Chain A
């Protein structure tokens, strides 16, 4: 079965002065898969992701996301992707509803569409009682679930999640991954970075970045076989240690 490529990356490089943050990485992501993008702090994950979502220009190499080149056609890329950043990015001084209206609006949804979307979200997440609360007053777990939902408002083909579950409890993480699965099942491609190795096990395929390069890329099962270990945690440790 020929799988449709939705992201293709060739020799993508980003340099800040003399420092090479991302060094000639190449990989493909297929439509509808959950692609785990792993790496230690400072390995270059966020930088690589910023190039893919069109807010950072590559120094060299190319990347095609959702059918558009990230450098020459970044605005079209932005139309087709959703993004949830590491730093939580809804407005604390607006209510949940106002945030939905605002983000829906700037993605070009009409007021009527936003109304339908809001109703659907309220039903799905059961948030009738908090829809008019200020986002700043909500617990982190809720904020992140909402942030994910807002990133999906305009029905993007791909959604990029940058450490979406940082700092939340295991139950909320579990619920969050259930949302990810539901979305992937609907055909949305998920591109996710994480530090939690148990989450890496949930991914269809995983790449591991070390010092700006991709050192391993395969399904979690095959990676474990390749490195002859029992868990993704050990795969990660082995890779990181070998490099050092």
Chain B
């Protein structure tokens, strides 16, 4: 125990002595949290839309007006020929072309039936899908309005039966994307920072030659490892705290659950991340190698965490592979506790998995650290 304190003391001194490193550790994550949370949004907004109005009637103008009234669309110049509109799309100035045919007005009034052609730039399939939904909604609304009006006019008794869906959104009532993203991004920052710092830490002593000096001392393996990793464990919890304060103060993210639960889970989770870092450190000879490997895992972990793309829509094998992704569980727990107010009993599965995983990883890491070669 006494020996561990000497190592912890030395590690903290080294961390706080390097003023540049200190800035990186604290300022960069805060900046990332502020920038990413505002930028990483999947809301589809500011859609550029172009109209080709071949009819120039009151109905066609009404339709265009209902698009313009929507906050999702940003209409660009209207054109009279489809060719010009297509050129605009080629140039990337517009995402959607709504082509209103000649006799739109006449057909609507006479036959109660006409068609509008909608062309959507679908390079990004997901966005195109959402845009399609928006466009359809506006046209449907427009349609029912016309029908109601014509019902009045022609005095038809047959009233359209319609099914009305009233959604009620739980846990994130205002559908605020930041509420969803901030806890997730905070998870990434805490993970990245502790993984990188711990994976480079022991390998750095290897490079400097001080590790050899340590190995010649009678120090026990577990003393050295605990002493080395404990400061980063503390650092991880500090970063989490700073991040949570920003989440509350700047983004007003709800924190419904017991925050102690978040700390409890993070405490165990950090052990796992530090174990992975140590494992990387033991199997590399230079900080560069360690950095490459840490990045490799980090990128996979991030992309397969369910943070940016829902795990449910991945292919089956990919879904299975996310089971070994620690970030996945942390993201789940953060969202559950903060947004849904889940209690300990709700996060038991994640907690057990991470605990077992942490024990396993640290066991491997301690075994792979050898004082004697």
> Does B123 sit within 8 A of A, measured CB to CB?
no
**A106:B216 contact, CB within 8 angstroms:** no
Q: Scan B1-42; emit 1 where CB is below 8 A from any A CB, else 0.
A: 011011101100110011000000000000000000000000
Q: Which residues, 71 to 85 on A, are CB-close (under 8 Å) to B? A: 74-76, 78-79, 81, 83, 85
Q: Which of chain A's residues has its CB closest to B216's CB?
A: A83
Which residues from chain A contact B2 at a C-beta distance below 8 Å?
Answer: 105, 108, 110
- Using Cβ atoms and an 8 Å threshold, which residues of chain B touch A101? 6, 9
Is A74 within 8 A of B372, CB to CB?
yes
Once the chains bind, are A106 and B219 in contact (CB under 8 Å)? yes
Determine whether the beta carbon of A89 is less than 8 Å from that of B209. Answer: yes
Closest chain B residue to A71, Cβ basis? B372
Contacts between chains A and B (CB distance < 8 A), count: 78
Q: Is the CB of B209 within 8 A of A93?
A: no
A78 to B213, CA, bound (A): 11
User: Does B145 sit within 8 A of A, measured CB to CB?
Assistant: no
A93 touches B14 (CB 8 A): yes
Q: Which residues of A contact B17 (CB under 8 A)?
A: 93-94
How many residues on A have C-beta within 8 angstroms of the other chain's C-beta atoms?
30
Structural contact, B218 and A91, CB atoms closer than 8 A: no
Q: Which residues of B contact A108 (CB under 8 A)?
A: 2-3, 218
Task: Determine if B212 and A55 form an interchain contact, defined as CB atoms under 8 angstroms apart.
Answer: yes
Q: In the complex, which residues of chain A have a beta carbon less than 8 angstroms from the beta carbon of B3?
A: 105-106, 108
Residues of B within 8 A of A91 (CB): 10, 14, 210
Q: How far is the CA of A221 from the CA of B210 in the complex (A)?
A: 37
Contact pattern, B 179-220, Cβ under 8 Å of A = 1, otherwise 0: 000000000000000000000000000001110111111110
A20→B279 CA distance, assembly (Å): 30
CA distance A101 to B273 in the complex (A): 30
A144 to chain B, nearest CB (A): 14
- Residue B373 CB within 8 A of the other chain: yes
- Chain A residues near B219 (CB, 8 Å)? 106
CB proximity of A95 to chain B, nearest CB, Å: 9
Chain A residues whose CB sits within 8 angstroms of the CB of B216 once the complex forms: 53-55, 78, 81, 83
B45 contacts partner chain A, Cβ-Cβ < 8 Å = no
Q: Are A94 and B14 in contact (CB under 8 A)?
A: yes
Report the separation of the CA atoms of residues A88 and B10 in the bound assembly, to the nearest whole angstrom.
18
Report the separation of the CA atoms of residues A105 and B373 in the bound assembly, to the nearest whole angstrom.
Answer: 24
Chain A: which residue is nearest B209 at the CB level? A87
Dominant secondary structure of chain B at its interface with chain A: helix
What residues of chain B lie closer than 8 Å to A107, measured between beta carbons?
A: 217-218
A83 CA / B6 CA spacing, docked (Å): 20
The answer for the CA separation of A87 and B213 in the assembled complex, in Å, is 10
Asked if A26 is at the interface of the complex by the 8 Å CB criterion, the answer is no
Contact assessment for B10 and A83 in the assembled complex, using a CB-CB cutoff below 8 Å? no
Asked if A85 contacts B13 (CB within 8 A), the reply is no
B103 within 8 A of A: no
Residues of B near A54 (CB, < 8 A) are: 216, 372
Q: Which of A89, A105, A110 contacts B213 (CB 8 A)?
A: A89
Expressed in whole angstroms, the Cα–Cα distance for A83 and B9 within the complex equals 23
- Is A98 an interface residue, CB under 8 A from the partner? yes
B371 contacts the other chain (CB 8 A): yes
- Contact A55-B371, Cβ < 8 Å, known A81-B216, A87-B212: yes
- Contacts A54-B372, A85-B213, A106-B3 given; indicate if A75 touches B10 (C-beta within 8 A): no
Contact call B209/A98, Cβ cutoff below 8 A: no
The answer on a CB contact under 8 Å between B13 and A98 is yes
Assess whether A79 is in contact with B6, with CB atoms less than 8 Å apart. Answer: no
Nearest-Cβ distance from residue B261 to partner chain A, whole angstroms: 37
Residues of chain A with a CB closer than 8 A to B373's CB: 55-57
Looking at A57, A91, A106, the one whose CB has the most chain B CB atoms below 10 A away is: A106
* A177 at the binding interface (Cβ < 8 Å): no
Give chain B nearest CB distance to A175 CB in angstroms. 22
Mark contacts of B51-64 with chain A using CB atoms, 8 A cut-off: 1 yes-contact digit, 0 otherwise.
00000000000000
Listed residue (A55, A76, A110) with the most chain B CB atoms within 10 angstroms of its CB: A55
What are 14 A-B contacts with C-beta separation under 8 Å?
A: A55-B216, A55-B372, A78-B216, A79-B218, A85-B212, A87-B212, A88-B209, A91-B210, A94-B17, A103-B213, A105-B6, A106-B3, A106-B7, A108-B3
Given A106-B6, A107-B218, 11 new contacts (CB under 8 A):
A53-B216, A55-B215, A78-B216, A85-B212, A85-B213, A87-B208, A98-B13, A102-B6, A105-B3, A105-B6, A106-B3
| Residues in chain A within 8 A of chain B (CB atoms) | 53-57, 74-76, 78-79, 81, 83, 85, 87-94, 98, 101-103, 105-108, 110
B-side interface residues toward A, CB under 8 Å? 2-3, 5-7, 9-10, 13-14, 17-18, 208-210, 212-219, 223, 371-373
